[in-house]
């Protein structure tokens, strides 16, 4: 996977497309070390906000204080 496989369609909404492997499971985790706490990472195959050809996975990052408003936060993904 390279950065060419990821597009940030809007702040906090990341679209993964044309991955060079079959996705069976994805686990997302916030990189919450440091001054930021309460980061939420939502991984789904829902394409809302992702218009790229070959779309496969969407990640939305938010905070506990504003869970319905995507915002940019670091995260980790594990693909299987």
Tens digits of pLDDT across the chain (80 residues): 999 999 999 999 999 999 999 999 999 999 877 656 789 999 999 888 898 889 999 999 999 889 999 999 999 999 99
Range of the structural domain that residue 25 is part of: 3-79
Q: How far apart are the first and last CA of the chain?
A: 13
CA angle at residue 29 from 73 to 44, to 5 degrees?
90
* Predicted pLDDT at 24: 93
- Count how many domains the chain has: 1
């Amino acid at each position: 996977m390279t950065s060419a496989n990821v597009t940030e369609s809007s702040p906090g909404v990341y679209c993964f497309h044309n991955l060079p492997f079959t996705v069976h499971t994805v686990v997302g985790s916030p990189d919450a070390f440091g001054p930021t706490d309460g980061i939420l990472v939502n991984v789904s195959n829902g394409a809302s906000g992702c218009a790229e050809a070959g779309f496969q996975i969407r990640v939305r990052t938010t905070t506990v204080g504003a869970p319905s408003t995507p915002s940019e936060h670091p995260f980790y993904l594990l693909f299987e």
